[in-house]
Chain A
Amino acid sequence: MPYRAILIIVLQTLLVACGVQQGDQQTSSAAVVPAQSSVAAPVSSDNSLDTTAPVVVYSSRQEYLIKPLFDRFTAETGIQVQLQTGEDGPLIARLQAEGDATFADVLYTVDAGNLWAAADKGLLAPLHSEILEANIPAHLRDPEGRWFGLSVRARTIAYSTARVDPAQLSTYEALAEPQWQGRLCLRTSKKVYNMSLVATMIDRLGIAPTEAVVRGWVANLATNVFSSDTLIIEAIAAGQCDVGIVNTYYLGQMQQQDPALPVALFWANQAENGVHVNISGAGITTHASNPAGALRLLEWLSTAAPQYMFSDLNLEYPANPAIAPVALVQNWGEFKQDTINVETAGRLQVEAVMLMDRADYR
């Protein structure tokens, strides 16, 4: 009977699908041991650590930037790391939907705004770790200890070495002045890096002055805003515009390919608050099944070798100030970073997005 055949095929397909999944689950759940303690009561001694249990990480950092670190962690500690990559919004939504049934032990994202949002939804557990608190400066972690910055990303001004005298440059705000009319390139306001930058400006300057600055930027744009920092740097090199605001490691990547690139970095706001920095960072999930392993991973990531690897893998700055970055990054010189707590980026993000909408910064 034909419809029976159809039914059988449907059922078989479903069974196969479930079968594969169950197989996956068994391999992982066989190794998972029940949580020994809730994270709220901080885990700090390694005695309770079962190294056979894997640590499951939900990450919006791209795999090629983070997997080498986890591989090394596994090699050193014997603890396996399972990585699920994705975008921030969906990962946080997934974590929230899964609730106490979540697979995730660690949430690793870029931008403090995302970590703040996850913590705000109660998805991250507060923890106390002497190692983390010693290695990570206070402004790069949550005041309540729910997340910790692990690498630092500086967002500053990039300029054309052919057409701009760096003496003309000073602050982010100054890019709104008429002398930059038709010479500025920006990335879309939909990128969280710009939301964070504007959020910290709101905290420092207030809403109205910040809005005036953003309007000035928009008025100075040489062309429609771009969808990536790399495009801004290419546009500056090609002569479409003279200045832009970028994360430093994008320039680093391009300098590795073309050392003669006619684009350089200018450290913004050195006489004022300092360069806007953001983080990639992580926290332990509220319903982690392996909080001890997760803590071990975070602590390990704040130590010397992995901190250097952050810089080596993506040309970022180590969050641990005791560790120097790779040579290419060091060559950009020392700079003063803004020490406002990065959680500001999350707290004022909605405010910043609305402000940029009003200013017609797309």
Chain B
Amino acid sequence: MLRPAFLPHFSQTLLLQALGFLVSVCVSVPIVVILLQWGTLGNGEQEIWQHLFATKLGRLTLNTLVLVVGVGVGVSVLGVSLAWLVSVCEFPGRRHFEWALMLPLAIPGYVMAFVFLGLFGFAGPVQTTLRNWFGNDVWFVDIQSPGAVILVLTLVLYPYVYLLSRTAFLAQGRSLMDAARVLGLSPIAAFLQVALPVARPAIMAGVALALMETLADFGAVSVFNFDTFTTAIYNAWYGLFNLTVAAQLASLLLLFVVLAMTLEQYGRKFKRYTQDERRRSVQTYRLHGTHALAATLFCILVIALAFVIPVIQLLVWVSSTISSELDSRYLEFFSHTVMLATMAAVVTVIIALLLALGKRLAGSKRLHGWHHFAERAATLGYALPGSVLAVGIMLTFTWLDRKLSTILYLEPVLVGSLFALLCAYVIRFLAVAHAPVEAGLQRIKPTVMEAARSLGAKPKQVLWQLYVPLLQPGIFTALIIVFVDVMKEMPATLIMRPFGWDTLAVRIFQMTTEGQWERAALPALTLLLVGLVPVILLVKNSRAPVLMKGKFLAQ
């Protein structure tokens, strides 16, 4: 029986469960609206599909696959190796790298893309300098190549994997590694045979987040003019004037997502390992000499590429434009950004909690299955390009507005409201909040609860001394990641924001769309600085011992 002890009444359990289910249904509506577009397949649509098949559908699919595989491998290698280094090894600078490696989380992909293109493009300072030194025939990587796009997306997305796998490695505790050593495993063997399999669910969850983000990305790929499914969606919409085909393409994109999710599920299917939850120093391997040097240099290289160099470039641009750009309106952009991100983070995490609890409370297997399905559908939104999702929501809300006005004679209130924008954020980022919340909930084993009850704990005590402390880190992580993601979100904000609600991301769009990168640097840098605060909080939180402070267990 999974029903938590603090909810003794059947009716209350049912209420919470129903609520969770209802939320997941509501949240899937815009996605269903998009899927329903397959109902329209007129002559115009058929003609466009024939055209797409004949011309570029193959290349788009291949490009998308290349990007997904490339970024998938990239974030896995970077994220896991860095997490392993800083959580299990000891080398010079480790303590600083531990938090500094999280910083790129605050940089939006579209900002990283235009900084890289500006810096490393043919006309950029790096190549120009090289030509001045070595003549015009000097070779340089083609910055408008698939490799460059993969690199840029890897650099902004690896923190998801790093964050989750580092937490997993820390949670494994020292005893696991000690045991591996005692059994005579080399460090590499211990990593491959012990640490990696145990951390697999966490790593897979991180990679899945990164891949969904990759599939939804429009900003970065369009800066490099790299054609993917997402750019094709926009091209069908803006170029061919056919929103139906755009939505149909978007639903195909969801196929890729389902694939990524299946992969993640597969990763979770493996045997669950009980983890030693006590967090203490786990630095088992002290690196020396060239090993230590290599580890330090590796971390420095990643931080330099993913954070320091982009920030310096932004600073250079800002210094040349700040006098003309900075005005009182920046305060407005700033406060709108923070307000929206805060509201969205709170609402999204609450809904994620409802979803996860609802599933947990589902008594029967069949009901559990339904909840599971609803949960999956509800988290699909993360992989939809923001504009497409926004249109799905807009269509839903205008329909609702019409119904409201015919039934209740209300003025249209939903479209263009703050509520609609918050809905868009919730649907877009539910997956992000869901992963850590669900992970936290899974740590609460029924046996722990039963033990608590048999020791005479009252329901209230179970809640406050067991549930809350155990869920707290997951909720905190979820709040922060959603906050940062909402801050960086651009396309849905652009379409759905109420009048006057311009944010930093909107400002960046307005400048980059006209190729005015220098002028985009100030809002980009501001966005980055605001994003750093929660990221640093997150780092601090993940380092502190968070578990087992419940007085209850100490008794």
Contact = CB atoms under 8 A, between A and B. Distances in A.
Given A3-B12, A226-B225, A353 B240 contact: yes
Contacts of A139: none
Contact of A3 (B15, B235, B515): B15
B123 A237 contact: yes
B227 A62 contact: no
Nearest to A229: B515
Contacts of B463: 2
Contacts of A85: 494, 502, 506, 510
A29 B93 CA distance: 60
A190 B239 contact: yes
Given A17-B343, A17-B419, A89-B238, A240 B123 contact: yes
Given A117-B241, A354-B51, A231 B515 contact: yes
Contacts of A89: 234, 237-238, 243, 387
Contacts of A353: 235, 239-240
Interface stretch (B162-170, B292-300, B376-384, B407-415): B407-415
A255 interface: no
Contacts of A64: 510
Contacts of A17: 343, 417-419, 422
Interface string A107-138: 00000000001001000000000000000000
Contacts of B136: 239
A97 B353 contact: no
A357 B51 contact: yes
B391 interface: yes
Given A14-B419, A101-B412, A231-B121, A190 B499 contact: no
Contact of B243 (A29, A93, A250): A93
Given A224-B225, A226-B225, A349-B241, A24 B123 contact: no
Interface of B is mostly: helix
Interface residues of A, number: 71
Interface stretch (A5-13, A42-50, A175-183): A5-13
Contacts of B390: 90
A87 interface: yes
Contact of A227 (B224, B238, B353, B418): B224
Contacts of B403: none
A13 B347 contact: yes
Contacts of A91: 495
B144 interface: yes
A88 interface: yes
A238 B225 contact: no
B223 A227 contact: yes
B222 interface: yes
Contact of A18 (B350, B413, B514, B515): B413
A52 interface: no
Interface string B472-511: 0000000000000000000100110011101000100011
B514 A231 contact: no
Contacts of A238: 122-123, 127-128
Contacts of A22: 413
Interface in B104-128: 117, 121-123, 127-128
A274 interface: no
Interface stretch (B94-102, B282-290, B393-401): B393-401
A158 to B, nearest CB: 14
B6 A2 contact: yes
Interface string A18-33: 1011101100110000
Nearest to B414: A21
A9 B346 contact: yes
Contacts of B193: none
A90 B343 contact: no
Contact of A90 (B231, B235, B494): B494
Closest 8 interchain pairs by CB? A230-B515, A238-B123, A228-B515, A234-B123, A21-B417, A101-B412, A353-B239, A90-B495
Given A120-B241, A192-B238, A223-B122, 20 more contacts: A17-B419, A18-B413, A21-B419, A24-B498, A24-B499, A85-B510, A87-B238, A87-B387, A89-B387, A90-B391, A98-B416, A101-B401, A101-B411, A190-B238, A229-B515, A235-B123, A238-B123, A239-B131, A349-B241, A357-B51
Interface of A: 1-3, 6-7, 9-10, 13-14, 16-18, 20-22, 24-25, 28-29, 56, 62-65, 82, 84-91, 93-94, 97-99, 101, 103, 117, 120, 188, 190, 192, 195, 223-231, 234-235, 237-240, 250, 253, 349-350, 353-354, 357-358, 360, 362
13 contacts: A17-B418, A21-B417, A86-B495, A87-B495, A88-B238, A90-B387, A99-B398, A101-B398, A101-B401, A234-B122, A349-B241, A350-B240, A354-B51
Interface of B: 6-7, 12, 15-16, 19, 51, 54-56, 117, 121-123, 127-128, 131, 136, 142, 144-145, 222-225, 227, 231, 234-235, 237-241, 243, 343, 346-347, 350-351, 353-354, 387, 390-391, 394-395, 398, 401-402, 405, 411-413, 415-419, 422, 463, 491, 494-495, 498-500, 502, 506, 510-511, 513-516
